[in-house]
Structure 1
């Protein structure tokens, strides 16, 4: 389990993380989402002991990361797949990791097999690895100590579709065996497939969190009538937001019984009334972070 409570991290006058609290539960995959500059990486660096918190706490398995005895045996971390010694071979990277953790070198071969790096590839210098191969090596390093928790920042970068599916299956199996996974990714489609819980951060603050089902559950109604303008006016008069949709009809921020009652009272005949379609993760993400996303402009 990972617990973050009232976490604040400042750099001078800039607040990168502002009173962030959430929990990543054991046996579940938690997707950690936000635009560039939202505070995701800073939060993950605090929980892995790389950046000090100004206030608040971040604990892993009930303990601050820096206080864990031999932390790699408890927590597997992958924050930057490119931050590996380019002059060493993949096998050397893992062998040094095994020595540091005090585990048998047999684990190196096991992890190479788990992440799909061949013996020939393991003999190559990391500088000659593709980004996808570095991601696999980074995951092997994170899993080397047989941890109970994985903290992964953009682990799918550079992976081809087959590699992304492999990673999804790997993390699903890890969580299914009782492990905790905190996963940051810009691949929203993949997060939607694998995550059990979702935490969304914008401008350093949590803007939404909950189970995937809770956050993506459809709300509101879609209604069509013989006089949409009159119906819209009646809904707005009751304090209900109603917006025209392409092809006719209204998207209404109210459930169907309420909409039907107002239409009846206004004397408007309905031709269709149903619950709104389920919102996808991308739509939800863009809606929640539209005011927080960094605006990119050409130089």
Structure 2
């Protein structure tokens, strides 16, 4: 478990993280989102003991990172895939890390196989690795100590679609074992597919948090009937707001029971009645972080 309690980090007069509190639970993949400069990476650096907090506290497995007896065997982290010794081979990088944390040498081969780096690739110098290969090596390092918690900042950078699909399965499997995953990514669709819960940060403060399903749920229900146009008229006469039309379906700002009663009174057979779908994570992200936007409409969203 990761527990962030009123965490604040200031650099002189600039507040990078401003009184942030949240929990990333075991058995859950938690997405940590926000625009560039929102404070995500700073918060993750505080969690993993690389940056001291100005105030507040970050606890992993109930302790501060520096108080864990062997942190790398309890918390695996990947904050910057480029921060690897480029003159060493991938195997050497992992072997030295295994020695440092007291992990069995057999874990090196296990992790290389797990992340899809072949024996030939493991013998190459890291300077000759693509970004995707460095990401895989970084993930192998994060998993080397068989940790209970993973803290990952943009782990999908440089991965091709097949690699992203593989990463999704890896993280969901890790969480499925009752472990904790905190994932920062600018690939919003992928977070929507992978994360069970979402924490969104803007200007150093949390702007939204909750389960992915709840945050992305639409307002009201979607309904259709044997005569959808007449259903729409009946709903409006009943004082219910029809907020959208999509083909033969209506989006109604009302409960399923209210819509059902109106249809019954109008002697209409409902052919569809389900919770409305939200606009998706990208739209929610744009709306909640609009004040942090660095570009104009049409520019790429980054986190």
Category of TM-score, reference length = shorter chain: 0.7 to 0.9
What TM-score results when the alignment is normalised by the length of structure 1?
0.83
What residue is the counterpart of 1:277 in the other structure?
A: 276
1:38-95 deviation line (CA, Å, top 9, x unaligned): 2211111111111221221111000111221221011000011111111111111111
What residue is the counterpart of 1:137 in the other structure?
A: 137
What residue is the counterpart of 2:162 in the other structure?
A: 162
Unaligned runs of 5+ residues in structure 1 are 264-268
What residue is the counterpart of 1:289 in the other structure?
A: 288
CA drift at 1:221: 4.1
How is 1:69-84 mapped onto 2 (pairs within 5 angstroms)? 69-84=69-84
2:224 equivalent to 1:212:
no
RMSD, aligned α-carbons: 3.2
Unaligned runs of 5+ residues in structure 2 are none
- Contact map agreement 1:218 1:275 (CA 8 A) in 2: no
What TM-score results when the alignment is normalised by the length of structure 2?
0.83
Quote the Cα distance in structure 1 between the aligned partners of 2:182 and 2:250. 38
What residue is the counterpart of 1:44 in the other structure?
A: 44
Quote the Cα distance in structure 1 between the aligned partners of 2:55 and 2:90. 38
- Contact map agreement 2:251 2:276 (CA 8 A) in 1: no
Against the structure 1 CA distance between its residues 33 and 233, is the aligned structure 2 distance closer, same or farther, given a 3 Å change threshold? farther
CA drift at 1:183: 0.8
What residue is the counterpart of 2:34 in the other structure?
A: 34
Against the structure 1 CA distance between its residues 112 and 3, is the aligned structure 2 distance closer, same or farther, given a 3 Å change threshold? same
> Does the residue aligned with 1:87 lie in a helix, a strand or coil?
coil
Against the structure 1 CA distance between its residues 272 and 225, is the aligned structure 2 distance closer, same or farther, given a 3 Å change threshold? farther
CA drift at 1:103: 2.3
- Contact map agreement 1:232 1:243 (CA 8 A) in 2: no
Quote the Cα distance in structure 2 between the aligned partners of 1:14 and 1:65. 25
- Contact map agreement 1:20 1:204 (CA 8 A) in 2: yes
> Does the residue aligned with 1:219 lie in a helix, a strand or coil?
strand
1:103-127 deviation line (CA, Å, top 9, x unaligned): 2322211111111111111111111
Against the structure 1 CA distance between its residues 141 and 227, is the aligned structure 2 distance closer, same or farther, given a 3 Å change threshold? closer
What residue is the counterpart of 2:57 in the other structure?
A: 57
Q: Aligned pair count?
A: 292
CA drift at 1:291: 2.3
> Does the residue aligned with 2:290 lie in a helix, a strand or coil?
coil
